[in-house]
A and B are shown apart, each in its own frame.
Chain A
Amino acid sequence: MLNAKIPAGPLDKKWTSYKSTCKLVNPANKRKLEIVVVGTGLAGASAAAALGELGYKVKAFCFQDSPRRAHSIAAQGGINAAKNYQNDGDSVYRLFYDTIKGGDYRAREGNVHRLAEVSGAIIDQCVAQGVPFAREYGGLLSNRSFGGTQVQRTFYAAGQTGQQLLLGAYSALERQVALGNVTMYNRHEMLDVVVVDGKARGIIARDLVSGKLERHFGHAVLLCSGGYGNVFYLSTNAMGSNVTAAWKAHKKGAFFGNPCFTQIHPTCIPVSGDHQSKLTLMSESLRNDGRIWVPKKQNDTRKASDIPEEERDYYLERRYPAFGNLVPRDVASRAAKERCDAGYGVGSSKQAVYLDYADAIKRYGKIEAGKKGLDHASEAEIIALGKEVVKEKYGNLFDMYEKITGENPYETPMRIYPAVHYTMGGLWVDYELMTNVPGLYALGEANFSDHGANRLGASALMQGLADGYFVIPYTLGNYLADDIHTKPLPEDHPAFVEAEKAVADRIQQLMSIKGTKTVESFHKRLGKIMWDKCGMARNAEGLKQAIAEIQQLKKEFWSDVKIPGEINELNPELDKANRVADFIELGELMCIDALNRNESCGGHFREESQTPEGEAQRDDANYMYVAAWEYKGDHQWELHKEVLDYEVVKPSQRSYK
């Protein structure tokens, strides 16, 4: 059975007692132990750097041209930490509680409490690295609030927090490269895990420039390869973000946890046409000051500025007076979909709602006028002052909106619509971040562990860095302490030869199909199936159809895909084909998981399971478990359940009213 290996003892002592009693590896032995790290986002870069500092021999891999490109870089809003610098009642317990509640009681207490415990040290570490967080005039760090919480615990660097944190981790990583502790493999993609006697012992990677396959041994393999939102084709993920590393691990025996838990972010720039290749997020921090509304009249074609105040429906403030525009992401997304489906959407597509800064501009303008002693400032002067304040807080986001849409958000409300953004599901891991395959770990978004069925804003960065800087350096030693006598496997070991052959055969098979349809066309079709039937709202009938459609799509892909070019050259279409083939298989599993989970929780909304007011209805009696799926062959999976015990928090129906 699945054993999460949660340490015994009271919740707030578990991590401390684990750290004090876990096994250690002495420095002389660390030098002999090799670690493979796949992915160099916040989780991977911080893990590779921290392990290099400890003296392990690390090999890190990324598919981009530099580890600094990893998609953590695009996170905008901030990173949470229970510092309570604002004296507003925050604590480790509250951060823990908010995360468990925000996750709709589908996350493990032990992991989440540890996350909250180490959150403060992350901020300390980043500041020490020179990450330029926003500061107040007194020189101390500034905080902002974020959705799903009532305290100000989010640290930020304008709208580029992810960039600054990633560049901090990247610089720590490059320092270890310079010191010779980490070898960096850019433009490399992991295409299989090598398992020997049941333990992960390395990977097969493809050099994306030469197309050659390589064998890399590791005493342990850490997958830090991010989420799988691109299964929907359109998402806020980078174009290259993919599930391939995690999926290969899954097919080699690692269980996949809660694959259907995907987060649809409420504030993204709406789709403009069929040519669309990706969606762009507008930071959730915009909900701090912006007000979301639609017209009270259906199919209202007037311009936003022509719709008087009394004819606007601020539906989040109306439905959720306690949290208003700051309800968690899943709640905000569904509310937008509900209004648009009911015919109140705006813009040419009618699949959008307004995010309006007019009130915030006036409010800030009045405060500024007051500060400057301008008692008789005109309306126009107040608005001009207010725009300056908004520009300082959100300028880069407003500029980005204008570049993409050609509309000026200081003058007209922004149009926004939900888009796929993050995947809470991922490889199943225990308390030590190890999958059920010994020696194979998953960190950051690639694992399923900390966010339950819905992630709170500014918590992804926290988790990535917690896993890399402060968890894996301890838990990995606990495993490797028993592995110090294992010699590195030679590259001609049969397990490597066999794994490489399987990878080569599959690439050969893909190239030899020589069909008629492009990789992109299959990816788009998969995305449409997933968005329509496994998106913001799901029902049994739709999911069954989706499973059949995806199985059909897979057949078609493997008989009719057209990939130009050669194997042994730089061939982005072949790279993409490898990834899309895995996305298709994952899509099927996501639908199976969504079909199995006949309850609504967090980002997973089953239409069959809702309250009379249309709110999500959880079913704790039947579904308070992690669904961990074991791959059993083509289209076959076996469900394992990890029952969630809540020792400290009492699960209740989430209410943000």
Chain B
Amino acid sequence: MEHYNMNLNLKVWRQKNAQTQGGFETYQVKNISSEMSFLEMIDVLNEELIAEGKDPIAFDHDCREGICGMCSLYIDGRPHGPWEQNTTCQLHMRAYKDGDTITIEPWRAGAFPVLKDLMVDRSAFDRIIQAGGFISVNTGNAVDANALPIEKDKADASFAAAACIGCGACVAACKNSSAMLFTSAKVTQLALLPQGAPERKSRALNMIAQMDKEGFGACTNTGACEAVCPKGISLTNIARLNQEYLGAALTVN
């Protein structure tokens, strides 16, 4: 692979804190290597800003290997940038060429308030999990792991849903700011396993109720969430959630 350097224009959302209005600032970065990651490019800019006595750009990130779900960024109108099934931290600068202008914004959703610059508060996701995204089994209660065979197809499908990293790209991409893909992934993971059966109904009802309470919008089956999901979480999970919810609502008082 040929490596090259580039100069770029960045339009970045800056906002001092949750209480103040934000706005775009423009920056030039020079000699960016195509081998850098996108976040390393921002690191370079931040080092320059600090040297100039300016406030660096705040953004969430941690593992930088695409699994913790902490990085975000709405890049040129798309969560996590241009690559398919990718997180921002795994986006590399060979996606860009010399002279490009890149617009960087935080996730935009009422339930994800901006804390500073590009950082948002995603604690609403934790509260949706608290509403039922678990199996109520205390430590020490478990039977032998192989006492409960699970069909490989179901186990694999459960795993595919469990691969969600909770980044919130689905919400950011959705015109309704719906958290249905996130919620449905957890509901599906547990609905496909026999261990999840006893709480199946209450889980679907309670997690949806919490989702609504947090101010996430409804799902209108546009599919933007699936298109931008870094882990390829499928829209069919939402269909399953609707099924679970309906089944539960009709049979629970």
Contacts and interface: CB of A to CB of B under 8 A. Distances in A.
Interface string A159-176: 010111001001110110
B142 A570 contact: no
Given A239-B62, A400-B90, A73 B139 contact: no
Nearest to B144: A124
B243 interface: no
Interface string A264-291: 0000000011011110110000000000
B58 A572 contact: yes
A652 to B, nearest CB: 34
Contacts of A573: 50, 56
B106 interface: no
Given A121-B140, A135-B152, A139-B150, A569 B37 contact: no
B94 A66 contact: no
Interface string B186-213: 0001100101100000000000000000
Contacts of B123: 65-66, 186
A239 B166 contact: no
B151 A139 contact: yes
B83 A403 contact: yes
Given A128-B137, A277-B43, A121 B129 contact: no
Contacts of B94: 406
Given A127-B145, A132-B193, A562-B50, A64 B62 contact: yes
B139 A177 contact: no
B51 interface: yes
A171 B129 contact: yes
A570 B115 contact: yes
A164 B164 CA distance: 10
Q: Which residue of B67, B144, B159 has the most chain A CB atoms within 10 A of its CB atom?
A: B67
Residue in A126, A141, A178 with the greatest tally of chain B CB atoms within 10 Å: A178
A125 interface: yes
A158 interface: yes
Contact of B1 (A73, A124, A140, A405): A405
B68 A74 contact: yes
A130 B196 contact: yes
Given A132-B158, A277-B39, A65 B47 contact: no
Interface in A396-451: 400, 403-407
Interface centre among A50, A64, A68 (most CB of B within 10 A): A68
B166 A175 contact: no
A69 interface: yes
A126 to B, nearest CB: 8
Given A174-B130, A400-B65, A141 B119 contact: no
Contacts of A236: 65
Given A121-B142, A238-B64, A239-B61, A277 B33 contact: no
B56 A68 contact: no
Contact of B37 (A134, A162, A184, A277): A277
Contact of A175 (B56, B130, B140, B155): B130
Contacts of B47: 518, 520-521
Contacts of B136: 175
Contacts of A167: 162
A132 B185 CA distance: 13
Nearest to B155: A135
A470 interface: yes
A85 B50 CA distance: 56
A49 interface: yes
Contacts of A126: 145
B135 interface: yes
Contacts of B44: 275
B148 A127 contact: yes
A297 B62 CA distance: 40
B130 A128 contact: no
A277 B145 CA distance: 40
Nearest to A49: B139
Contacts of B156: 132, 135
Contacts of B144: 124
Nearest to B159: A132
B114 to A, nearest CB: 11
Contacts of B92: 403-404, 406
Interface string B35-66: 11101100110010111011110101111111
A70 B64 CA distance: 12
A518 B51 contact: yes
Contacts of B54: 564
Contacts of A65: 60, 70, 121-123
A135 B150 contact: yes
B227 interface: no
B190 A50 contact: no
B135 A129 contact: yes
Contacts of B62: 64, 69, 71, 238-240
A83 interface: yes
B253 interface: no
Q: Which of B17, B58, B129, B136 has the most CB of A within 10 A?
A: B129
A136 interface: yes
A130 B154 CA distance: 12
Interface in A378-409: 400, 403-407
A622 B33 CA distance: 50
Contacts of B33: 272-273, 275
Contact of B126 (A174, A278, A404): A174
A128 B35 contact: no
Given A64-B62, A124-B143, A164-B162, A174 B134 contact: yes
B202 to A, nearest CB: 12
A66 B142 contact: no
B246 to A, nearest CB: 22
A542 interface: no
Interface of B: 1, 16-17, 33, 35-37, 39-40, 43-44, 47, 49-51, 53-56, 58, 60-70, 83, 86, 90, 92, 94, 115-116, 119, 121-123, 125-126, 129-131, 133-146, 148-152, 155-156, 158-159, 162-163, 165-166, 189-190, 193, 195-196
Given A74-B65, A130-B135, A139-B152, 7 more contacts: A65-B60, A65-B121, A74-B68, A130-B195, A137-B152, A174-B126, A280-B64
23 contacts: A49-B139, A53-B138, A66-B125, A66-B126, A121-B142, A124-B143, A127-B142, A128-B135, A128-B137, A130-B158, A158-B159, A171-B133, A186-B126, A238-B62, A238-B64, A239-B62, A239-B63, A272-B35, A277-B40, A404-B37, A404-B90, A520-B47, A562-B50
